[in-house]
Amino acid sequence: MIQQKSFEGLANLEKRLAEDLSYLQLPAAEWVPVTEFNGRRVLDVAIVGGGMCGLVASASLKLLGITNTVCLDRAPEGLEGPWVTFARMETLRSPKQLTGPALGLPALTFRAWYVAQFGEQAWEALGKIPRTQWMEYLVWYRKVLSLPVRNRVTVLELKPARDDLIEIAVRDDAAGSVETLYARHVVLATGRDGLGGGHVPDFVRTVNRKFWAHSADDIDFAQLKGKRIGVVGAGASAMDNAATALEEGAASLDLFIRRKDLPRVNKFTGISSQGVVHGFAGLEDAWKWKFLDYVLRAQTPPPRDSTLRVSRHPNARFHLGTPVIGFEERGGAAVIKTPKGDFDLDFVIFATGFKVDLSQRPELQHFAPYIRFWQDSFTPQPGMDNSELATSPYLGTGFEFTEKTPGSCPALKQIHCFNYPATLSHGKLSGDIPAVSDGANRLAKSIARSLFVADCQLHFERLVGFDTPELLGDEWADAGENAVLEQDTAG
């Protein structure tokens, strides 16, 4: 059914949001002193990424009065993040009522945005949020808050300019130029692959790329029509890619699943609470590891709707207990090797997740040797080894990187890892929808504290120099003088 939008309703919502912000005296007044370096204005915060996490980080900083910021995103406007690129689910997996990046403002929620356009009845009838509609909401979010995003700008390199300043080399594809920016803080709001990239087994990379792709790649599914397609993995992205291939007319779809059964229970959902949101970061390291190691071993099941989206096709086959142990090109076909035999296919999609690998992030090359990871700080109990957790960055209280060797790279603390690999240090606050506002608030308040402390001399001078009087001196008479006159007269 085609929905009819109410532009008047949306205009009224925007007016309501403006009033709410006014009542709360938000955004706060600007307060960070202007700084310069090499004759140029320095950004207080540069945010790498203009997707959901980048936008909510920018908004949270703005509400605190930190406005000399910019989001840098390599995608064209409206294509930031995964929502209309490599995300291939029909709807979001999060329940529709979650407030996501709304930062505690009712008029900024997806629900308010949706109801303003389509009405309460449509909201009640809505099951889950369509993926592309979530992108429309984020586009509106950026516009209504007037967030500073520069599109088609790629960060090429980060390096220390001083112990408290980051030099940023960027390529502006729209202008066809390379420029240098300076920022006091840099936030990496770079998603699931923010510290690496898509992971595939080593034996896959030796095969010609015309035969395979990672699930996060730009795949032309129309070209897969009539082809024999394989998908490796059993998570949500595996199901979404498999379903998309089938819907585009794949001749057959073979899904290779290492486990003998699919996981059934999403463990972390069972303990979702404000306690977890605010308390996880306060746990001792052993407890943080124990929680996430358990969740990763249990694995997250693919959504029921996504799984049914695949299984309803008669030409889809689920191969349970069938790990992939090899991959090669043979006779013009892609051959998947398993303990149950070989499978000849035309194309294979590896939905095998992401891996922290700083060698895939050339923009971080000057900082990579100094970043402290959990494997540098924590040794798990026997039987709890986990390479994914071991390569998580060991972050400070404001998502900032910490040094592997104290004093080796002081500027490292100016870079904040507000992306998915931060989960072991902070919980699920920097990648998923449910608690992203809490993560952004934690990040922004930490940066605000750091900026104030760094500028304390200037703030003290402002204090000393402030001379706007509350009293003018004519509001009272000196009782002492009157009393002396009266006494003299009486004498």
Instruction: List the 326-330 sheet strands across, edge first.
Output: 326-330, 333-338, 341-345
Let me know the angle formed at the C-alpha of 472 by 469 and 478, rounded to the nearest 5 degrees. Answer: 130
Residue-wise pLDDT for 257-310, tens only, equals 999 999 999 988 877 899 999 999 999 999 999 999 999 999 899 999 999 999
Q: How many Cβ atoms sit within 10 Å of the Cβ of residue 218?
A: 7
Put residue 355 in one of left, alpha, beta given phi > 0 → left and psi -120 to 50 → alpha: beta
Let me know the angle formed at the C-alpha of 335 by 332 and 339, rounded to the nearest 5 degrees. Answer: 160
What residues does CATH 3.50.50.60 cover in the chain? 7-195+356-454, 200-264+301-352
DSSP 332-352: TEEEEEETTEEEEESEEEE--
Q: Tell me what the mean pLDDT of segment 458-484 comes to.
A: 87
pLDDT score recorded for residue 479: 83
pLDDT score recorded for residue 443: 98
C-alpha–C-alpha distance, residues 12 and 21, integer Å: 14
Q: Which helix (H) or strand (E) holds 326?
A: strand 326-330
C-alpha–C-alpha distance, residues 111 and 120, integer Å: 9
The answer, yes or no, to whether residue 484 has pLDDT greater than 70, is no
pLDDT score recorded for residue 48: 98
From residue 101, alpha-carbon distances to 91, 157, 405 in Å are 18, 29, 35
According to DSSP, the residues that pair with 40 across neighbouring strands are: 37
Pick 168 or 491 by higher pLDDT: 168
CB of 342 within 8 A of CB of 335?
yes
Residue 290 is which amino acid?
K
pLDDT score recorded for residue 138: 98
Residue-wise pLDDT for 185-232, tens only, equals 999 999 999 999 999 999 999 999 999 999 999 999 999 999 999 999
Start-to-end CA span in the chain (Å): 100
pLDDT score recorded for residue 488: 62
Tell me 161's DSSP state.
Answer: E
C-alpha–C-alpha distance, residues 240 and 225, integer Å: 16
C-alpha–C-alpha distance, residues 104 and 297, integer Å: 34
Radius of gyration of the chain (CA): 27
Q: Tell me what the mean pLDDT of segment 367-381 comes to.
A: 97
Helix axes 436-454 and 456-465, enclosed angle (nearest 10): 70
pLDDT score recorded for residue 6: 76
CB of 188 within 8 A of CB of 48?
yes
> Residues, the chain, total?
491
According to DSSP, the residues that pair with 213 across neighbouring strands are: 349
Closest C-alpha to 70, from 193, 194, 186, 162: 186
Q: How many Cβ atoms sit within 10 Å of the Cβ of residue 382?
A: 6
pLDDT score recorded for residue 489: 62
Query: Residue 275: CB partners within 8 Å, gap ≥ 6?
Result: none
| CATH code 3.50.50.60 for 200-264+301-352 | yes
Residue-wise pLDDT for 31-74, tens only, equals 999 999 999 999 999 999 999 999 999 999 999 999 999 999 99
CB of 61 within 8 A of CB of 101?
no
The answer, yes or no, to whether residue 482 has pLDDT greater than 80, is no
User: For strand 228-232 and strand 252-256, is the pairing parallel, antiparallel, or unpaired?
Assistant: parallel
From residue 336, alpha-carbon distances to 108, 133, 235, 287 in Å are 48, 37, 19, 39
Q: What whole-number percentage of the chain has pLDDT above 70?
A: 97
Per-residue pLDDT band at 490 (split at 50, 70, 90): low
Q: Which fold has domain 7-195+356-454?
A: FAD/NAD(P)-binding domain (3.50.50)
SS3 content of the chain, % helix, strand, coil (to 5): 40, 20, 40
